[in-house]
Amino acid sequence: MSEAVPVIDLDREAVKQGLREASFVLVDVREPHEFAAGHIPGAVSHPLSSFDPSALPEGKRIVFSCAAGVRSVRAIEAAQASGRDIREHYKGGFKDWAAAGEPVE
């Protein structure tokens, strides 16, 4: 069993700052119907059910997001298993974002 790379939890303010500065790509791993019902502006959809780490943009900092921070950790594990050095996610996920009254697309 390989040793897990530590997961880095980002909070809402860190996500907002990163999106403002365009310093990372926010990858939403919820299912398409969840994404269509509402998502964080600027997020791109890569559903975990059909997740392919090789489809993620190269050379960019990737931050995963889901509903509440569970599937985003699974996406980190899948990406690392495929050799990608990705370890950040939005711990609160979309539920935290929406509950805080942040803009939703």
The pLDDT value given to residue 6: 87
Sign of CA dihedral 4, 31, 61, 15: negative
Q: What is the CATH number of the domain that holds 47?
A: 3.40.250.10
Whether residue 56 contacts residue 48, with contact meaning beta carbons closer than 8 Å, is answered with: no
- Asked if the structure places residue 24 within a domain, the reply is yes
25 located within any domain: yes
Domain assignment present for residue 95? The answer is: yes
Say yes or no to pLDDT of 3 above 70: no
Of the candidates 82, 80, 85, 97, the one whose C-alpha atom is nearest the C-alpha of residue 30 is 97
Q: Does residue 23 form part of some domain?
A: yes
Is residue 76, in this structure, part of any structural domain at all? yes
Question: What's the CA gap between 75 and 65, in Å, rounded?
Answer: 9
For 50-63, the pLDDT digits (tens) are: 999 999 998 999 99
Structural domain range at position 25: 8-99
In a domain, residue 105? The reply is: no
Structure-model confidence comparison of residues 38 and 5, the more confident one? 38
Q: Is residue 13 part of a domain?
A: yes
